[in-house]
Chain A
Amino acid sequence: MSQRRLGAEARWVRLARWLIITGTVIGLLLLPPHLSGYRLRFLTLLFLWIAMASNWNLIAGYTGYVDFGHAVFFGLGAYFVGILMVRADPAVWVLDRLGQTEALTLWLEGALAGANPEGLLATLGFTGPGEVLRLASFLLALLAAGLGSGLFALTVGLPTLRLKGPYFSIAMLGTLIATREIVRNLKPLTGGGEGLTFPMKYYPEFVFFYFMALLVMLLSVATVAWISRSQIGYALRAIREDEGAADMRGINTTLHKVQAFVLAAALTGLAGGVRGYWDTYIEPDSMFVEQMTVQMVMMTMLGGIGRLWGPVLGAVTLYYLQEVVWANLLKLHLIALGLLLIAIVLYLPGGLLGLIAPNGFTARDLIRRWAVEPTEEAEAAHD
């Protein structure tokens, strides 16, 4: 196969890849009306898991800093949203500062009165101005959750990212456990062990959470995709392979590590925020759980660690397996998860992607493996 031919094939593969991705996204956007509530919930959770696994992959897979406490950012995101929405109403607060609350409420009432009852807002369950404000509050709180988690990651990451290997892992596990205890003890702010209940006055239709989760997932995957192709991605991989050498080559290791960590944390915070509002009740024991990190680790390892599509594939496979096969084996489920983790580590270190496409979805690799039976001549030329 000549070089020119391969270039043409590569263009086709690239085009096909874009078509598949765009098609999937459009499909997912149009899907909700055709699905039952159960399937919708399943997909929503799946999106959140894909997002979280991708984020974990960013810090652990690309950078090589194995974060055993990543669930802390999920919990923090939920708590940021919870505290803001319970203790304050961010949208109303902002509007009050601007002196625009009444004007906007009136305008909204007028606008909603003339709105199509079948329109988007109505579908999502927003029919009155109060509910729209509520939505705005949630979005502001979610933004704050992302920023807050990122900021927390910055303060925790600056010291802990200096630690290497297992030290970092355990320090993060410690962060998770300690944060749970701190949240439990800060009763006036977080509600302590009794948890926080979100105001139920306006609660959107479920589809809303579907779209939010989809958004968070797309954001996460797109961020990882962007990073893996950008200079930061190369820097991160260099850090993973040999931090000292990367430093010697003039890579600002601290900056890049912290960048990756903060991004991963902020995106996980968004996922936590969506989940928190959806659950309407959060407590330390359900939001800061080690088991959540286990899931992220498992999904990433199963799909293929350090690969863009690894966590996505892993999350889909594992979550589907869990839902279908292990729904009946509730108690054995986590034991099976642990066994699976050990089995993957021992026998499938590259994950499923390592089986399907060990060298990535490049044109050359895909063509060689799947499309064309390579002739001896082509093999020789390739080698």
Chain B
Amino acid sequence: MTTILQLTLNGILLGGFYASMVLGFSLTWGVMGVINLAHGEFLMLGAFLAWLLFNPQRTDVAISLPGSEISLPVLALAGVWIFLALSFVSYRFGLRRLASRSGRGLISLVMGGAVTGVLYWVWRDVFSLAPIDPFVSIPAVMLVLFSFGYLLQKHLINRVVERPHLITLLITFGISVILTNLALLVFSGDPRQVILTYRPNVNVAGVTVPTTRTFVFGVALLIMLALHLFLQRTRTGKSIRAAAQHKMAARTVGIDIYETYALAFGISIALVGAAGAMISPLQAVWAVMGPPFTLKAFTITALGGLGRIQGAMLGGLVLGLAESFIGFYVGTGWGVATAFILLVLILILRPRGLLGGELPAEVQ
């Protein structure tokens, strides 16, 4: 009995994480019909960024190019990313009315630099470069990945978003190959881990409640709530939903479709980056961790139906519970196989997902 309770709890906690991990995937798919095969790789980037901020003293991360070994201090890497992200975000959102078009770029770079500098100064002098907990670094991770995703969609994926599925699949496949190998180049193939100190688990009536996983679950719920409110209440959220529902109609009422796509992709990548930061204390962080997550994201989306948060939660729970139980009774190595078997079953039996998706799945 305790075992079953324990397994159920583990499954639910895992399911919550899966649900938040899959939101971004479901969003890009639902809004612009792009199936992001690089989803897992963005999760990997988020995890690595969290790892970098957690290990500011590490200097063994190097970019090794053939012939020379350029060693880069970890902080410089993270710092440059954050600097660029802040500049970009201030460029995109803050400076529309502040400066002329030509001056905007420079001002935003200066602003980004200033904010990064202040943040770094606070970190160095007030907190003496203490490791930043992955849960605390989530906003930074989201910021960086948002900018990355926005630019990627704006300059690359928007060019092919109207073309057949094969093209967008190939493009995102290409992105995933590039990201994996860049990560291999920068971080080497060694698995890394974020080891948190608040390890002690709580014991409730014989059931162990793992602290970190519970934190992950809580943050995942918060993120889901935030996304829900964003999509329902804000102007941008509404325009994203409008673009998803009917492209032409959305255009007719004056929504800039491609800008909306870029925002949606940025948000999607930011969400998966947050999931990556959250997973970093729970599993090894390394360059090839991505593909199973892409597969799981696809499974959950297929389970829960497209484009709804409840669907993602349900699909995540089903997969989490299935993995938890099968992992215990069959063997831990079967998690991915579980996801796959679930996927094929659901695609054949209930092609519109368990709840019946709003958008018909293109399945016979």
Is B258 part of the contact surface with A, judged by Cβ < 8 Å?
no
Q: How far is the CA of A205 from the CA of B331 in the complex (A)?
A: 42
Neighbour of A167 across the interface among B173, B175, B177, B361, CB < 8 A: B361
User: How near does chain B come to A254, taking the closest CB pair, in angstroms?
Assistant: 10
Is A371 part of the contact surface with B, judged by Cβ < 8 Å?
no
Closest to B66 in A: A329
User: How near does chain A come to B187, taking the closest CB pair, in angstroms?
Assistant: 12
> If A169-B169, A294-B177, A335-B181 touch, does A160 touch B344 (CB 8 Å cutoff)?
yes
Is B252 part of the contact surface with A, judged by Cβ < 8 Å?
no
> If A173-B295, A174-B299 touch, does A164 touch B171 (CB 8 Å cutoff)?
no
Q: How many residues of A are in contact with the other chain, CB < 8 A?
A: 44
User: How near does chain A come to B298, taking the closest CB pair, in angstroms?
Assistant: 5
Closest to B364 in A: A162
A297 / chain B contacts, CB cutoff of 8 Å: 170, 173
B142 / chain A contacts, CB cutoff of 8 Å: none
Q: How far is the CA of A205 from the CA of B184 in the complex (A)?
A: 36
Which of A84-92, A180-188, A218-226 lies at the interface? A180-188
Task: Give the contacts of A340-369 with B (CB-CB under 8 A).
Answer: 341-342, 345-346, 349
> If A171-B344, A177-B340, A346-B159 touch, does A341 touch B170 (CB 8 Å cutoff)?
yes
> When the two chains form their complex, are residues A170 and B298 in contact, meaning their CB atoms are under 8 A apart?
yes
> When the two chains form their complex, are residues A68 and B169 in contact, meaning their CB atoms are under 8 A apart?
yes
Contact with B along A153-177 (1 / 0, CB 8 A): 0000001101111110111011101
Is B343 part of the contact surface with A, judged by Cβ < 8 Å?
yes
User: How near does chain B come to A97, taking the closest CB pair, in angstroms?
Assistant: 35
Q: How far is the CA of A185 from the CA of B165 in the complex (A)?
A: 34
Is B4 part of the contact surface with A, judged by Cβ < 8 Å?
no
Q: How many residues of B are in contact with the other chain, CB < 8 A?
A: 49
Is B64 part of the contact surface with A, judged by Cβ < 8 Å?
yes
> When the two chains form their complex, are residues B177 and A174 in contact, meaning their CB atoms are under 8 A apart?
no
> If A335-B181, A339-B178 touch, does A159 touch B339 (CB 8 Å cutoff)?
no
B339 / chain A contacts, CB cutoff of 8 Å: 174, 178
Name the residue in A290, A328, A335, A338 with the highest tally of chain B Cβ atoms < 10 Å from its Cβ: A338
> If A290-B291, A334-B177, A335-B181 touch, does A166 touch B165 (CB 8 Å cutoff)?
yes
> When the two chains form their complex, are residues B170 and A339 in contact, meaning their CB atoms are under 8 A apart?
no
A160 / chain B contacts, CB cutoff of 8 Å: 344, 347
Is B357 part of the contact surface with A, judged by Cβ < 8 Å?
no
Is A315 part of the contact surface with B, judged by Cβ < 8 Å?
no
> When the two chains form their complex, are residues B181 and A331 in contact, meaning their CB atoms are under 8 A apart?
yes
User: How near does chain A come to B83, taking the closest CB pair, in angstroms?
Assistant: 23
> If A174-B343, A177-B292, A331-B64 touch, does A185 touch B331 (CB 8 Å cutoff)?
yes
Q: How far is the CA of A160 from the CA of B167 in the complex (A)?
A: 20
Neighbour of B175 across the interface among A60, A164, A332, A342, CB < 8 A: A342
Task: Give the contacts of A64-103 with B (CB-CB under 8 A).
Answer: 64, 66, 68
> When the two chains form their complex, are residues A337 and B185 in contact, meaning their CB atoms are under 8 A apart?
no
Q: How far is the CA of A175 from the CA of B336 in the complex (A)?
A: 10
Is B1 part of the contact surface with A, judged by Cβ < 8 Å?
no
User: How near does chain A come to B121, taking the closest CB pair, in angstroms?
Assistant: 35
Q: How far is the CA of A60 from the CA of B170 in the complex (A)?
A: 12
The dominant DSSP class at the A interface is helix
> When the two chains form their complex, are residues A182 and B337 in contact, meaning their CB atoms are under 8 A apart?
yes
> When the two chains form their complex, are residues B336 and A68 in contact, meaning their CB atoms are under 8 A apart?
no
> When the two chains form their complex, are residues B66 and A332 in contact, meaning their CB atoms are under 8 A apart?
yes
A142 / chain B contacts, CB cutoff of 8 Å: none
> If A331-B181, A331-B185 touch, does A345 touch B174 (CB 8 Å cutoff)?
yes
> When the two chains form their complex, are residues A338 and B347 in contact, meaning their CB atoms are under 8 A apart?
no
B299 / chain A contacts, CB cutoff of 8 Å: 174
> If A159-B344, A159-B348 touch, does A165 touch B173 (CB 8 Å cutoff)?
no
Contact with A along B172-193 (1 / 0, CB 8 A): 0111111011101100000000
Neighbour of B333 across the interface among A60, A184, A345, CB < 8 A: A184
Is B253 part of the contact surface with A, judged by Cβ < 8 Å?
no
User: How near does chain A come to B108, taking the closest CB pair, in angstroms?
Assistant: 27
> When the two chains form their complex, are residues A177 and B363 in contact, meaning their CB atoms are under 8 A apart?
no
Closest to A305 in B: B166
> When the two chains form their complex, are residues B344 and A345 in contact, meaning their CB atoms are under 8 A apart?
no
> When the two chains form their complex, are residues B363 and A338 in contact, meaning their CB atoms are under 8 A apart?
no
Neighbour of B340 across the interface among A178, A328, A338, CB < 8 A: A178
> If A66-B169, A178-B336 touch, does A335 touch B178 (CB 8 Å cutoff)?
yes
> When the two chains form their complex, are residues B295 and A174 in contact, meaning their CB atoms are under 8 A apart?
yes
User: How near does chain A come to B156, taking the closest CB pair, in angstroms?
Assistant: 7
Q: How far is the CA of A178 from the CA of B331 in the complex (A)?
A: 14
B156 / chain A contacts, CB cutoff of 8 Å: 342
B331 / chain A contacts, CB cutoff of 8 Å: 185
Is A301 part of the contact surface with B, judged by Cβ < 8 Å?
yes
Is B65 part of the contact surface with A, judged by Cβ < 8 Å?
yes
Q: How far is the CA of A290 from the CA of B298 in the complex (A)?
A: 17
Contact with A along B328-364 (1 / 0, CB 8 A): 0001011111011101100110000000000001111
Is A35 part of the contact surface with B, judged by Cβ < 8 Å?
no
The 3 A-B pairs of least Cβ separation, nearest first, read A178-B340, A338-B178, A338-B177
Residues of A participating in the B interface, judged by any CB pair closer than 8 Å: 60, 64, 66, 68, 159-160, 162-167, 169-171, 173-175, 177-178, 181-182, 184-185, 290-291, 294, 297, 301, 328-332, 334-335, 337-339, 341-342, 345-346, 349
Apart from A164-B362, A332-B185, list 10 A-B contacts with CB within 8 A.
Answer: A64-B166, A163-B364, A165-B165, A167-B302, A173-B291, A173-B294, A177-B336, A341-B173, A341-B177, A342-B174
**15 contacting pairs across A/B (C-beta < 8 A):** A66-B166, A159-B344, A160-B344, A163-B363, A169-B169, A170-B298, A173-B37, A174-B343, A174-B344, A177-B292, A178-B341, A297-B173, A332-B65, A334-B181, A342-B156
Residues of B participating in the A interface, judged by any CB pair closer than 8 Å: 35, 37, 64-66, 156, 159-160, 165-167, 169-171, 173-178, 180-182, 184-185, 291-292, 294-295, 298-299, 302, 331, 333-337, 339-341, 343-344, 347-348, 361-364
